[in-house]
Structure 1
Amino acid sequence: MHRTGTNLPAVGEYNQTVVLDAIRRRPEGITRSELAALTALSGMTVTKVCRRLLAAGLVDEHGTRTSGPGKPAAVIKLNPSGGFAVGVHIDPAAVTYVLVDLSGTVRDHSRTGTPVTGDPSAVIEEMANAIEALIAGSAVDRSRIIGIGIASPGPVDVGDGVLLNPPMMPNWRQVPLRRALAEATGLPVLLEKDTTAAVVAELWFAAPGSSRDFAFMYYGTGLGTGLSVSGEVVRGISSNAGDAGHITVDPAGPVCHCGRRGCVGYVTVPRALVERAVLDGVLLADEAGDLDDMVAVDAAFTRLAALAATGDAGARAILTTAARSLARAIVLLVNLLDIDEVVFGGPFWARVSPVILDALPEAVREDPALVRPHPIRFSQSAIPVDVAAVGAATLVLDNTFSPRPSALLLAAE
């Protein structure tokens, strides 16, 4: 899918993003005439836009291409070093930082423990220092840094750039992160819910013809869901859409912190699976450690996943049960949104994906509540390092360089 432009003079900026997006999605290069055909813009408009993009260093000319009679045409390609964005993913277990170029390639990354201090100023200072160290270590021209994107567990106030009261992060309540980090770094800052950032990343990297209607199941310290419908990220009225963690999948299950039983975001997360492994004797209590310590949970979860991968019956049973719980929640989402793909990712996902994906498709297909006239695909995010961190960076690139029809309405007012 691609956007087409308009030849109205009032929307030059929109046309520029249309052309740049078309160039970005064709890494092999594209000629001006091909751009005109693809974007439905006039040849003159495309020539003017390309001239601006070349002057800004966002694209380069790479040789020529002959297609039929006439003069060989210059081939235009994206200049990956024309712009960079920093992505930050805040998780209860760790903070991940990435530096992404205009093509979406991760140039550098780092990770630190999540600050536990209740003093927001100390948190901001630590994050700003980590960002500056990442930029300096990459040897990237700082003037080419477009901005910083932050992906955080919800709920968030995107308008004011405030972390409200993210679960499992009691010291991060009402933190005005966007404004404070912008002041500390001197760079523009965007804030987004982590699952939404993951969807932004998936759409940014999507190949032509790929699905535009999907749910992203984010499996980290908690379970979150991001949504794309018709190629647009579903944010909701407060930009906190997709909080599917309290879908009941086991009415007789353990009591969630919300007071109800069997919430999918309570029974399937790493901490719950490690706790079940201890109760079932799959892991010793000493192996699990303190379940309130995410570092200990991470290590124990890795051990549980390794046991399942080697065929341990008890470990596989725990993950298979988790897959069935996930299937019940997925069926609800598929029925509600009529989506045809579910993408999985997140820092804890890869370790358990072989076992869960072995059981999940059948559990979804055989669920008597499933109502659908089409097949459902299950895939894994191919985005490297940390999908939410990369999503936070691509959020900046997307906000700057992706065509938005809504901009036409603003221009017309």
Structure 2
Amino acid sequence: MQAGANLPAVGGYNQAVILDAVRRSPDGVSRVELAERTGLSPQTVSNVTRRLLDEGFIVDAGTVPSGVGKPRTILRLEPQGRFAVGVHLDPTVITLVLLDLASRVVADRTIPTPASGEAPSTIARIAEVVRELIAESAVDAQRVMGVGVAAPGPIDLEAGTVLNPPLLHGWRDVAIRDDLADALDIPVLLEKDVTAAAVAELWAGAGASDDRNTLFLYYGTGLGTGVILRNEVIRGVSGNAGDVAALAVGVTDGHVRRVGISAMPSVLVDAAMAAGVLQHEPGPLGTEEIRALFSQLVQAADGGDPAAVAIMDAAADDIAVGLVQLVNLLDVDRVVFGGPFFGVASGFLLDRVPGRVHDNPLLVVPHEIEFTTSDFGDDVAAVGAAALVLDHAFSPRPEGLLITH
């Protein structure tokens, strides 16, 4: 039996549909065009756009001639109409951004992730920096709609908790969503970091068609993927989609290589130290030390050091093999690279990975694949977390029209 329509929600849905259409028209759009694109009546479009103008979401951007009759008024998104804060919880650094409706970063901050592993004090510090970020940007706090948090998986999306994130000691079963919401007294959403990165790319491509099919390869302390199919971010049943750590990419000495391990920066750093490319005192390495040593490894490879080139080349091979399997499985036509460890290695990897994917005889998709990097750099997960808040509030969701019991 089909669910009925929840009529009181129709107005909000129509508003989201029209706001989304305006957002996807960077050059502006008229009311007549909005009616054509959305299928709504001219009267409904007129009523909804009046509300959006009154509430500051859109602005009147002047008129353009339209042949016979009076000129058409052009409507555009008002970027300063609303804002959202994004927080990326990383084992090394916590990144915070303030995002406007046009996906522009208004302000950003980074703070070290405390080595103590005390989650309550870290959450209190995040709340403090969120308040500072808003105050220093001179943004009206009433226009900040909420905070999005991107965290390493696994997460419990329903409970709003991080379960046991790798390299974040002391963060098992931490209710970061509710704890941060209590500290700030504004809504907070939680998302897995690789999914947040995909959300950032989706919102950045506001003018894209409805056939956007993208694989986001997130290169951080490990590898993960975010997936966008026909303009929908794929989250999975529990919000933990995108874990490719166990994806087999080859065999060495009788042991299966898995891309989530073989291409990890820490593993590459260990290999470089064993090969004499890098020098470091014996003992365990922290994530900040791994980041610095990984940068040295890439510099050595870029400089032509044979051992460094061999290590990075093997990683590029494994990443390419993993991508072939994922592209075949998902049939995407766009691969975006990003994440906190990708920037330093972007030149080396982009010079090798795309060609090795296209030349792999196991690639079966009959179309070209576009390879690109995220415009948001190291901030991509934080930007995606903020965009999540805006997406949650403004993207039209047909399921909201159904009666629930």
Does the TM-score normalized on the shorter chain lie above 0.5? yes
Q: Which residue of 2 aligns with 1:33?
A: 32
Q: Which residue of 2 aligns with 1:3?
A: none
Q: Which residue of 1 aligns with 2:376?
A: 383
1:213-232 equivalences under 5 Å are: 213-232=213-232
Q: Which residue of 2 aligns with 1:91?
A: 90
Correspondence 1:302 to 2:295: yes
Q: Which residue of 2 aligns with 1:317?
A: 310
Find the residue that maps to 1:283 and give its secondary structure. coil
Q: Which residue of 2 aligns with 1:234?
A: 234
| Shift of residue 171, structure 1, vs aligned partner | 1.2
Deviating above 6 A after TM superposition, structure 1's stretches of 4 or more consecutive aligned residues are none
Tell me the distance in 1 between the aligned counterparts of 2:74 and 2:210. Answer: 25
1:33-112 equivalences under 5 Å are: 33-112=32-111
Q: Which residue of 2 aligns with 1:267?
A: 262
Q: Is the 8 A contact 1:216 1:342 kept in 2?
A: yes
Q: Which residue of 2 aligns with 1:360?
A: 353
Q: Is the 8 A contact 1:124 1:181 kept in 2?
A: yes
Question: 1:98 is matched by which residue type in structure 2?
Answer: V
Find the residue that maps to 1:171 and give its secondary structure. coil
Once the two structures are superposed, what CA deviation does each residue of 1:192-229 show, in whole Å capped at 9, x if it has no partner? 00001111111111132386222111001111111112
Find the residue that maps to 1:218 and give its secondary structure. strand
Find the residue that maps to 2:249 and give its secondary structure. coil
Tell me the distance in 2 between the aligned counterparts of 1:9 and 1:227. Answer: 33
Tell me the distance in 2 between the aligned counterparts of 1:183 and 1:81. Answer: 26
1:106-255 equivalences under 5 Å are: 106-206=105-205, 207-209=207-209, 212-252=212-252
Tell me the distance in 2 between the aligned counterparts of 1:211 and 1:285. Answer: 48
Question: What is the number of residues matched between the two proteins?
Answer: 399
Q: Is the 8 A contact 2:336 2:373 kept in 1?
A: yes
The unaligned stretches of length 5 or more in structure 2 are none
| Shift of residue 281, structure 1, vs aligned partner | 2.0
Q: Is the 8 A contact 1:152 1:193 kept in 2?
A: yes
| Shift of residue 307, structure 1, vs aligned partner | 2.3
* CA spacing shift, 1:9–1:32, aligned 2, 3 Å: farther
Tell me the distance in 1 between the aligned counterparts of 2:210 and 2:219. Answer: 22
| Shift of residue 362, structure 1, vs aligned partner | 2.8
Find the residue that maps to 2:52 and give its secondary structure. helix
Tell me the distance in 1 between the aligned counterparts of 2:116 and 2:24. Answer: 42
Pick aligned residue for 2:344 from 351, 354, 367: 351
Once the two structures are superposed, what CA deviation does each residue of 1:348-401 show, in whole Å capped at 9, x if it has no partner? 112112211222123223334332222222211112551000000000000001
Once the two structures are superposed, what CA deviation does each residue of 1:165-203 show, in whole Å capped at 9, x if it has no partner? 011112111000001100000010000000011111111
Greater Cα shift, 67-76 or 233-242: 67-76
Q: Is the 8 A contact 2:149 2:190 kept in 1?
A: yes
Question: 2:292 is matched by which residue type in structure 1?
Answer: A
Correspondence 1:282 to 2:277: yes
Find the residue that maps to 1:285 and give its secondary structure. coil
Correspondence 1:370 to 2:363: yes
TM-score by length of 1: 0.91
| Shift of residue 109, structure 1, vs aligned partner | 0.4
Pick aligned residue for 1:397 from 387, 390, 394: 390
| Shift of residue 310, structure 1, vs aligned partner | 3.1
* CA spacing shift, 1:209–1:309, aligned 2, 3 Å: farther
Question: 1:142 is matched by which residue type in structure 2?
Answer: A
Identity %: 48
Find the residue that maps to 1:63 and give its secondary structure. strand
Tell me the distance in 1 between the aligned counterparts of 2:40 and 2:378. Answer: 37
Tell me the distance in 1 between the aligned counterparts of 2:396 and 2:253. Answer: 46
Greater Cα shift, 369-378 or 48-57: 369-378
* CA spacing shift, 1:52–1:284, aligned 2, 3 Å: same
| Shift of residue 331, structure 1, vs aligned partner | 1.6
The unaligned stretches of length 5 or more in structure 1 are 1-5, 255-259
| Shift of residue 291, structure 1, vs aligned partner | 5.2
* CA spacing shift, 1:290–1:349, aligned 2, 3 Å: farther
Greater Cα shift, 291-300 or 218-227: 291-300
